A and B are shown apart, each in its own frame.
Chain A
Amino acid sequence: MKNNLRVLRAQRELSQATLAEQLGVSRQTINAIEKEKYDPSLPLAFKMARLFETPIEKLFSDEHKSGSAE
């Protein structure tokens, strides 16, 4: 699944570690989501959408990245 997490995070000048802290997950989880190697759970996706004050469908799209691990 494609996402704009890296862009949104950069816009807010947040590090992966800070974002991870705010979302209650590991930095590795944030990194894997940004690299589109891992799709987050629905609760985490909603948490991200709330944090970035953006609709969930603007954060994630169901278009598959070619050659992704998932």
Chain B
Amino acid sequence: MEKSTNSQSTDPRAASKQSGRIVLYWSAVWAASLISSAAILKYVLEDPSSILGIAIAVTPILVSIGVVKVYIAAIKNMDELDKQIEVEALAAGFGAGIIVGVAGISLEGANLLLPWPMTQGMAMMMIVTKIAVQFMAIRKYR
């Protein structure tokens, strides 16, 4: 994927935009595969644990691996200031997610917190923090 974006343009900024578009397309395909997979497993298939059901359940996971691959390629192709901002935001988002996860385990263990959907909480914290830090970094550098 990275090779194809590089070969399409010699202008780094055009390559960066092209990579961003590819990430968006893959993300859209991922979202569509998640929704359709969940719908088929719930409403169409009589036996979701069949081979076909497992294949349908695994499909969005395979697509998500593709999303990660094109996202890494997109980061490599980014304008260098954009790359700095993206990496700072990703680091903060990852850290915040881990903190929420660890804090959740500790607080639940001490009965200070009711059992909660930790995976969703961590993912939400990662996304929200990443967006917030990205916004702050854009203001810091520009």
| Cβ contact within 8 Å between A28 and B81 | yes
Set of chain B residues within 8 Å of A31, measured between Cβ atoms: 142
From DSSP, what is the main secondary structure of chain A's interface residues?
Answer: loop
Smallest beta-carbon distance B138→chain A, Å? 9
Whether A32 contacts B142 in the complex (CB less than 8 A), given A24-B11, A38-B84, comes out as: yes
**Which one of B12, B79, B141 lies within 8 Å of A69 (CB-CB)?**
B141
What total of chain A residues lie within 8 Å of the partner, measured CB to CB? 13
> Do residues A32 and B12 form an inter-chain contact, with CB atoms below 8 A?
no
Q: Is A2 an interface residue, CB under 8 A from the partner?
A: no
B141 touches A40 (CB 8 A): no
Task: Assess whether B42 is interfacial by the CB under 8 Å rule.
Answer: no
Which A residues are closer than 8 A to B by beta carbons? 24-26, 28-29, 31-32, 37-38, 40-41, 44, 69
Given A24-B13, A25-B12, answer yes or no on A40-B140 (Cβ-Cβ < 8 Å): no
Answer whether A25 and B11 are a contact pair too, CB < 8 Å, given A31-B142, A32-B141, A69-B140. no
Considering the chains assembled together, what is the distance between the CA atoms of A44 and B82 in angstroms? 14
Q: How far is the CA of A48 from the CA of B47 in the complex (A)?
A: 63
**Shortest distance in angstroms between A67's beta carbon and chain B's nearest beta carbon?**
13
Q: Considering the chains assembled together, what is the distance between the CA atoms of A44 and B24 in angstroms? A: 28
Known: A38-B81, A41-B80. A28 touches B141 (CB 8 A): yes
